[in-house]
Amino acid sequence: METAADLVFTQLGVGSQAVPYLAGWQLQRRMHERRVGDQIPDSCLLLEHEPVYTAGKRTGVLDRPIGDPGAPVIDVDRGGKITWHGPGQLVGYPIIRLPDPIDVVAHVRAIEEALIRTCAEFGVVTGRVHGRSGVWVTGGAPAPGTAPPVTTAAPDTWAPPDSNAPPDGNVAQDSNVAQDGNAVARDGKAAPDRKVAAIGIRVARGVTMHGFALNCDCDLSWFDRIVPCGIRDAQVTTLSAEAGRTIGVTDVIPLVQRHLADALGASGWHVAQGADTLLTPALAASPPLATT
């Protein structure tokens, strides 16, 4: 996949500086509008959110939490159903102009590839599951510090919902299924597939928004309060659970930057110091703040 220019990253906030979801969404929309108008280059926000459930366009009544889930539930304009964001999860929002002819599936595959490579850096071997977006650990449970055998699948013919409607389209963020999610096999049986990263995007006027969520060391019990996409034959996991050691969001960010820029075909990548810098029209012409 190719992009026309460098990719610019900005880290909005992690830990105690986690970003409220509505503030992040508003910033995405401002950036999307400016990218459509070629006022900023291809960009990607990296952050943690305060705890929140986001419900995509296909979320059904029975998918939602019953009672008070302990975090707000916000309806959003991406594809897919409901999921959770919060502490211990790296969220990335690529604001990318897709090349013509627009290929939404190829964009999703590129993000998946970047996250697969990132997980591999920590000794966690992941891949794709046919018919389901995102990045998965498949097969039996891992021993601490090791990764289970898995084949990294090549892009297949699966087309996400709405991906055939460019330049405006939505890709489902599907099958964030969460029971116990601790990657432990029981009674000698192999553990179900375990999702470590989810993807849900929207493409409007040829530019992407929303993006991916990589579970680093988050509390998986948040997922128990929803029925994400109605898929019950899989689990959610974290990099920390699979690697047998703590892997935090800040550990992952530098690797995600490098692998995402490479997978998206960017000619290089830079780091902008905050959203105000990223939204400055002169950024594209200014010297890079950081580069590979």
**Active-site residue 216, yes or no?**
no
Q: Could you state, in order of their start, the residue ranges of all structural domains in the chain?
A: 7-285
How do beta strands 43-47 and 7-13 pair?
parallel
Question: Under a CB-based contact definition with an 8 Å cutoff, are residues 79 and 161 in contact?
Answer: yes
Give the residue ranges of the chain where pLDDT is below 50.
Answer: 2, 4, 142-168, 172-187, 229-230, 282-292
pLDDT value for 104: 95
Catalytic residue among 44, 119, 216, 229: 229
Q: What is the DSSP letter of 216?
A: S
**What residues have CB less than 8 Å from 19, skipping those under 6 apart?**
12, 13, 47, 48, 49, 50
Class of domain 7-285: alpha beta
| Stated pTM of the model | 0.80
In sequence order, the β-bridge partners of residue 74 are: 54
pLDDT value for 79: 80
DSSP symbols for 195-215: EEEEEEEEEETTEEEEEEEEE
pLDDT digits 0-9 by tens, 51-70:
999 998 888 888 888 889 99
Phi, psi of 204 (to 5 degrees): -135, 130
pLDDT digits 0-9 by tens, 120-172:
999 999 999 988 889 999 875 543 443 333 333 333 222 333 333 333 455 54
